[in-house]
Structure 1
Amino acid sequence: MFAKRALPLLAAITLVAPSVAQEVEPPAPWAQMTGKNAGAAGTCAGLDGSDTDFDCYMVRCDAGQLVFVFQPDMDADKVHGMNVTIGNGYAEKIMFDHMGHGESTIDLASHPRFLAAMVAAKPGDWANWETVDAEFEYTTFFELTDAGKRIKDVQKTCKR
């Protein structure tokens, strides 16, 4: 009798618990960024990089290097890396190369598989992201629709 009553409660706890430390960004296809992130391509709630209530994920050219940029809605210095998966074929632990000034960056020349997975993403694909060595560990997702085209546009302007 106890098992029959406990099962629905256990199922409810199982469904609720993972969502406590999980953030899901609203659907936002990749676009050319404007404002302070002009020249970059990425996704965030404001699509101009100025909305501080949501994380932004983008690719831009810094001093001739193609970089992935994470601009969180919290202190960027508190997230040191990520475990990222895209689709069924890509999974990697990546530590940020640089942190500070409200963002963390990864030199994509050092992570060609990550770059290739983002470029190969199909409409509706999402990247799954779990923080590594963060003050507050969490999991989130960001959309990759149109990422391939937008990243290629940035690559054309980025010369080493």
Structure 2
Amino acid sequence: MRFSRPAVAGVVGVAAFVFGACLAASLALAQEVEPPAPWVKLTGSHAGAVGTCSIDEPTDNEACYMVRCDAKNGLIFEIGDAAVGEMGLRSARFEIGRYKETIRLDGNSPDRRMIVLSKHPKLLAALTSGADFATMYAVEADVKYSTGYELTGARDQISRMARGCPTKP
């Protein structure tokens, strides 16, 4: 049985499309990507911080990635998400442009994890580098988890926060 070239090309094209769709769906399930949200001054339960949240008006149940001034530690990066305690998140791998590092997180509450930025100046430099996007992967957690969040406006917001924040003694 012989097949014409257009018929073979059509079958190959359909197979490639189906494979691509399956691959895209599996990648979408494996990584949560927050909707675009530039860095701003946060309000509500996150008042006093600058960052980005998964919605415009964050609640305690929404994921937020933020920087705040802590009287004891200076600038801190904080992950605020009701799921971090449930996931057992203890370490995270950050990828921002060329910066790639796994960092142990401090747990200051069941729904928040933090990093003292004076101990991780490369993370602070990456957050304020002008990169558009950051990716974070859970390490040593009860579940596999990764997320991405926007860094648009992070440089200006974090710089303003840093000017008014005393450094750790």
Residue in 2 that maps onto 1:40: 49
Contact 1:43 1:143 in 2 (8 A): yes
TM-score normalised over the length of structure 1: 0.85
Q: How has the CA–CA distance of structure 1 residues 96 and 69 changed in structure 2, closer, same or farther, with 3 Å as cutoff?
A: same
Q: Is structure 2 residue 59 aligned with structure 1 residue 22?
A: no
CA distance in 2, matches of 1:75, 1:86: 21
CA distance in 1, matches of 2:22, 2:55: 34
Give how far 1:56 is off: 0.3
CA distance in 1, matches of 2:118, 2:107: 14
The equivalent position to 1:68 in structure 2, one of 77, 81, 101, is: 77
Contact 1:34 1:47 in 2 (8 A): no
Give how far 1:7 is off: 5.6
For structure 2, which runs of at least 5 residues remain unmatched after alignment?
A: 1-7
Q: How has the CA–CA distance of structure 1 residues 75 and 94 changed in structure 2, closer, same or farther, with 3 Å as cutoff?
A: closer
CA distance in 2, matches of 1:7, 1:119: 40
Give how far 1:31 is off: 0.2
Residue in 2 that maps onto 1:31: 40
Percent identical: 36
For structure 1, which runs of at least 5 residues remain unmatched after alignment?
A: none
CA distance in 1, matches of 2:160, 2:83: 29
Larger radius of gyration: 2
Instruction: Give the number of equivalent residue pairs.
Output: 155
Give how far 1:157 is off: 1.7
Residue in 1 that maps onto 2:67: 59
Q: Is structure 2 residue 22 aligned with structure 1 residue 13?
A: yes
SS in 2 for 1:20: helix
Residue in 1 that maps onto 2:92: 82
TM-score normalised over the length of structure 2: 0.81
Give how far 1:19 is off: 1.5
